[in-house]
Amino acid sequence: MTVKHGVTIAALCPVALLLYALHTPVSANTFAKEHAKRYPLCQPWAPLIAAPKEPLLAADDALTQLQANEVIARSGERMILRGDVRIARAAQQLAADIATYDERTRSVEVNNGMRFQDGDFALRGTTAHMELDADRGRFSDAEFWLYKQHARGRAGLIIKENASITRLERASYTTCNPDEEDWYLSATNITLDRQADIGSARHVVVRFKGIPFLYTPYISFPLSDKRKSGFLPPSIGVSGRSGTTIALPYYWNIAPRVDATLTPNNMTARGTQLLAELRYLNPASRGQLDAEYLASDKKFGGKRELYTFRHNGNFGPQWTLDIALKSVSDKAYFTDMGNSLVTSNISHLERRLDLTYLGDYGRFRSRLQTYQTVDDAIAPGSRPYQRLPQLQYSTPSWEGDYLRLDMDSELVNFEREESLSGWRLAMEPNISAPFESLATTITPKLTLHHTQYELDPIDPSQSSSFNRTVPIFSLDSGLFLERDSQWGDSELLQTLEPRLFYLYAPFEDQSQLPLFDTSLPLLSFPRLFAENRFSGLDRVGDANQISAALTTRFLDKSSGKEYFSASIGQIFYLRDRQVMLSGSTLDERHKSDIVAEAVARLGSHWSAKLNLQWGELNNEAEKGAFQINYRRDNRRLFNLGYRFTRTPALEQLNGSFAWPLTTQWSVVAQANYSLEEQRTLDTLHGLEYNSCCWALRILSEEHIINNEGDMTRSLSFEFELKGMATIGRSIRDTLKQRILGYTQ
């Protein structure tokens, strides 16, 4: 029979409140799929309570239902429920063989075992006594499970003192299966204060393989995702240049939107380094300050420092402020402290402040930009110019029925020691008449490039004012053709997209103009359609040329997914190019090199990419790159790449992979090899053991630190107790940076 009574099951189980147990219920099939995805090495646990023989009434969030084979009422105040007792509210169920309910005191008592389940949370205990109105209760010999976290634990006694305070005595916790309890945490006493959102534990011991390796007499922790000050797990590693390193981070929750991490990092070969990270996050801004300070490096013989600051913020809906500052104490810092070939080769550090407006009146940006040259051996004339300031403004686009008007402008003050400095004003108004149909695009465009210089020459006898005005005309046209195609059983759509781009700019002698920020970029497919063959604004290339290109794509007709695309193009010069950079000779070629690129997706796991530049003069490849990738899932991936350039001579192979050896063991590796120099540039090797509840990762790295080929090596460890903490360096972050496609 079923008896309805207006009490809430939430008060019947304080452990549900204790462990965030009022979860949204999920179906068995949905839960099994989610569990298999999140914990592929763990077996899901069976529900603690089977479906009742007699279905309960319709779920009601405000109604508690009592069900039993036999109900004995005494004096209208005390009820004894016997045989398959069920107490339910919505998706929550309490099951027992016998229970007593006292209507006068509104209390429930179970003395011969009880089970509770709510979605992905379950509890089993020997005895239970609950005072519903007072929101108090006691549970003895309790065992609990958190299905979604694949966690479980025990407590000799659970005492719910009131709606906020719950205590566990003689408690334990683990994420391991019952038959594979490799690690567990135990505590003599755990107190949870839901009102303060803080928990604490005394005499905490963590055991691994039965051996205690961590003890603390007292620890406190948040009961939600709120931040709380305290020590974080240590990081341990071995480096060929710094020795054994041990770092112990301390997290400081300064304010609701401000925190810091302070980390003493002891390096046996160098000394103790202090690492600091300060972060803030406001509704309109965010930023981070990082500092590394070593008072006295035993190997280097002096103080070592590195500071980095980033800020991004909004001033209302249209103004933003972006700051990026970096400073380092010496040129060898990245070589000594860096963990990769990229950081070892840093030569300049940017210091930049941008104030940007983007709104109805166009786009405006004010920039202050300087650089710290890390290597003092770099000649002053080879260092980048400082921009103090750089002011840029672009008008809003005006579009009529047939015409479009735009204008970009810039004012910059360039400064550099022992070099020509000064101001440059540039204005580029343009008018275009784009025409588009389903299969055709034609866009004529006229741009007027005007530049004015006011210089501070080193020699006073030199001129200080220059100006240049160059009109540029371009005509961009293209077709879009398509046809039905087929590959096996797949219905495809093939496109054919020819493109012609005509460019004309008259010759203007610019040999007297300085070169503040201008260079000649490498040829690529997008550069075939650039209005200026130079980057920067100090040179406007003269041109009378036609770029011809062809692109084809194969698309899935139903989904639009691109399986293959290929493009090829070349520039045909109608006259010699006379505007050159300093020291360059007249370009008399009639054609540019041929550039081509292709991307293919070979099935659901394979992909490939090719870039090639074919020399017009010597009829051979000038540069190219090829990359092939395989990715089946997070644990099975393979990358192989090859790149070369003829001038300067460079030929390199790079490869990486991650692959499981068994269900629990897997390996990762990455390497760059120079075929030109016949030596390895950098390598990475890693081994991982991954079980249901713990993992161990070991990573070995090495890379070249100088032109003589000297290598530096390091060894890192990461030990993870799943569901509790990770000790050691974050190896997975390194793998994400070094191995393409690695995500776990």
pLDDT digits 0-9 by tens, 225-243: 677 888 888 888 888 888 9
> How many residues comprise the chain?
744
Binned at pLDDT 50, 70 and 90, residue 535 comes out as very high
Q: What letter would DSSP give residue 33?
A: H
Mean pLDDT value of segment 686-693:
92
**pLDDT value, residue 64:** 65
Query: Per the structure, how many domains does the chain have?
Result: 4
Question: d(Cα 124, Cα 53) in Å, to the nearest integer?
Answer: 20
Please check whether residues 700 and 556 belong to one and the same domain: no
Q: Does residue 292 lie in a domain region?
A: yes
Please check whether residues 451 and 412 belong to one and the same domain: no
Tokens standing for residue 234 = 């240590």
Could you tell me which residues come within 8 angstroms of residue 608 by beta carbon, excluding any fewer than 6 positions away? Answer: 598, 599, 600, 602, 626, 627, 628, 629
Could you tell me which residues come within 8 angstroms of residue 148 by beta carbon, excluding any fewer than 6 positions away? Answer: 23, 31, 34, 35, 38, 120
**DSSP string for 588-644:** --SBPPEEEEEEEEETTTEEEEEEEEE-TTTSSEEEEEEEEEEEEETTEEEEEEEEE
C-alpha dist (Å) from residue 700 to 678, 682, 703, 738: 22, 11, 11, 13
Question: d(Cα 325, Cα 576) in Å, to the nearest integer?
Answer: 44
Please check whether residues 497 and 530 belong to one and the same domain: yes
**pLDDT value, residue 441:** 95
Provide the mean pLDDT of the chain. Answer: 86
Q: Does residue 41 lie in a domain region?
A: yes
Nearest to 464 by CA among 449, 454, 473: 454
Binned at pLDDT 50, 70 and 90, residue 647 comes out as confident
Q: Does residue 232 lie in a domain region?
A: no
Question: d(Cα 72, Cα 83) in Å, to the nearest integer?
Answer: 12
Beta carbons of 514 and 453 less than 8 angstroms apart: yes
Q: What is the extent of the structural domain holding 328?
A: 258-419
pLDDT > 90: percent of the chain: 51
- Amino acid identity at 349: L
Mean pLDDT value of segment 374-391:
90
Could you tell me which residues come within 8 angstroms of residue 537 by beta carbon, excluding any fewer than 6 positions away? Answer: 410, 424, 426, 449, 451, 517, 518
Residue 398 has pLDDT above 70, yes or no: yes
Tokens standing for residue 111 = 């003395």
pLDDT > 70: percent of the chain: 89
Q: What letter would DSSP give residue 531?
A: S
Domain boundary among 226, 246, 269: 226
Mean pLDDT value of segment 188-198:
83
Q: Does residue 231 lie in a domain region?
A: no
Residue 16 main-chain phi, psi, to 5 deg: -60, -40
Please check whether residues 435 and 376 belong to one and the same domain: no
pLDDT digits 0-9 by tens, 402-416: 899 999 999 999 999
pLDDT digits 0-9 by tens, 460-490: 777 789 999 999 999 999 999 999 888 877 8
Please check whether residues 437 and 551 belong to one and the same domain: yes
Tokens standing for residue 44 = 């899901």
Domain boundary among 594, 619, 644: 619
Collect contacts of 429-432 with beta carbons under 8 A, ≥24 apart.
Answer: 429/405, 430/405, 430/406, 431/403, 431/404, 431/405, 432/403, 432/404, 432/406
Please check whether residues 414 and 438 belong to one and the same domain: no
Give the three-class secondary structure for 62: coil
pLDDT digits 0-9 by tens, 231-274: 888 888 888 888 999 999 999 999 989 999 999 999 999 999 99
Question: d(Cα 709, Cα 569) in Å, to the nearest integer?
Answer: 39
> If 0-12 CB within 10 Å is exposed, 13-18 middle and 19+ buried, where does residue 529 land?
middle
Nearest to 718 by CA among 702, 734, 703: 734
- Amino acid identity at 537: L
**pLDDT value, residue 35:** 61
Question: d(Cα 144, Cα 16) in Å, to the nearest integer?
Answer: 9
Please check whether residues 442 and 525 belong to one and the same domain: yes
Question: d(Cα 89, Cα 59) in Å, to the nearest integer?
Answer: 7
Residue 18 has pLDDT above 60, yes or no: no
Q: Does residue 81 lie in a domain region?
A: yes
Beta carbons of 552 and 495 less than 8 angstroms apart: yes
Q: Does residue 235 lie in a domain region?
A: no
Nearest to 570 by CA among 529, 541, 528, 530: 528
Please check whether residues 572 and 655 belong to one and the same domain: no
pLDDT digits 0-9 by tens, 289-343: 999 999 999 988 889 999 999 999 998 889 999 999 999 998 888 888 876 666 6
Question: d(Cα 535, Cα 541) in Å, to the nearest integer?
Answer: 10
Question: d(Cα 452, Cα 470) in Å, to the nearest integer?
Answer: 12
**pLDDT value, residue 4:** 31
Please check whether residues 327 and 434 belong to one and the same domain: no
Mean pLDDT value of segment 25-45:
63
Return the higher-pLDDT residue of 152 and 543. 543
Mean pLDDT value of segment 501-524:
93
Q: Does residue 609 lie in a domain region?
A: yes
**pLDDT value, residue 13:** 30
Residue 674 has pLDDT above 80, yes or no: yes
∠ CA 683-685-688 to the nearest 5 degrees? 160
Mean pLDDT value of segment 111-126:
82
∠ CA 514-520-523 to the nearest 5 degrees? 170
> If 0-12 CB within 10 Å is exposed, 13-18 middle and 19+ buried, where does residue 571 land?
buried
Question: d(Cα 471, Cα 448) in Å, to the nearest integer?
Answer: 4
Please check whether residues 374 and 331 belong to one and the same domain: yes
In 240-318, beta strands by DSSP E = 243-247, 250-255, 258-267, 271-281, 285-297, 302-315
pLDDT digits 0-9 by tens, 71-95: 888 666 788 888 888 877 666 677 8
Could you tell me which residues come within 8 angstroms of residue 216 by beta carbon, excluding any fewer than 6 positions away? Answer: 204
**pLDDT value, residue 21:** 32
Please check whether residues 645 and 615 belong to one and the same domain: no
Please check whether residues 589 and 522 belong to one and the same domain: yes
Binned at pLDDT 50, 70 and 90, residue 728 comes out as confident
**pLDDT value, residue 310:** 97
Domain boundary among 404, 419, 434: 419
Q: Does residue 248 lie in a domain region?
A: no
Q: What letter would DSSP give residue 279?
A: E
> If 0-12 CB within 10 Å is exposed, 13-18 middle and 19+ buried, where does residue 613 land?
buried
Q: What letter would DSSP give residue 234?
A: P
**pLDDT value, residue 153:** 86
Question: d(Cα 390, Cα 354) in Å, to the nearest integer?
Answer: 9
> Alpha helices, DSSP H only, in 388-454?
none
